[in-house]
Copies of this chain bind each other. A is one copy, B any other.
Amino acid sequence: MPRVAIGVDLGGTSIKAARVHEAAGIVEEHSLPTEAAEGPAHVLDRIAHVARKLGAEEAEVEGIGVGAPGGVSWDRTTVTRSPNFPNWGTVNVQHGLTERLGFDGPIVVGNDANVAGLGSAFHGAGQAYDSFIMVTLGTGVGGAIIYENEIFRGSTGGAAEIGHMTIDYEGPLARSGVAGAIEGYLGHEFIARYAQLRLLNEDTLVRDLLPEGDLAQVTTKTLTEAARKGDAPAIAVLAWAGHKLGCVLGSAINLLDIRTVVVGGGASAAGNFILQPARDTVTDYVTPALQDGIAIVQETLGNEAGILGAARLAFQYLDTYAPSSGAS
Contacts and interface: CB of A to CB of B under 8 A. Distances in A.
Interface of A: 70-71, 80-81, 130-131, 143, 145, 153-170, 176-181, 244, 247, 250-252, 254-259, 284-290
Contact of A178 (B163, B164, B178, B287): B287
A167 B164 contact: no
Nearest to A175: B287
A156 B256 CA distance: 10
B153 A257 contact: yes
Contacts of A181: 287
A162 B157 CA distance: 21
Contacts of A153: 257
13 contacts: A71-B289, A81-B288, A154-B258, A158-B289, A159-B256, A159-B257, A160-B257, A161-B255, A166-B167, A177-B288, A178-B254, A251-B251, A255-B255
Contacts of A80: 289
Contacts of A258: 154-155, 159
Tallying the copies of this chain within the complex gives 2
A281 to B, nearest CB: 9
A257 B176 CA distance: 16
A129 to B, nearest CB: 9
A169 B254 contact: no
Contact of A176 (B158, B177, B287): B287
A176 B284 CA distance: 9
Nearest to A71: B289
A156 to B, nearest CB: 6
The 5 closest A-B pairs by CB, nearest first: A154-B257, A159-B257, A164-B287, A158-B257, A165-B251
B250 A252 contact: no
Contact of A251 (B166, B257, B288): B166
B165 A255 contact: yes
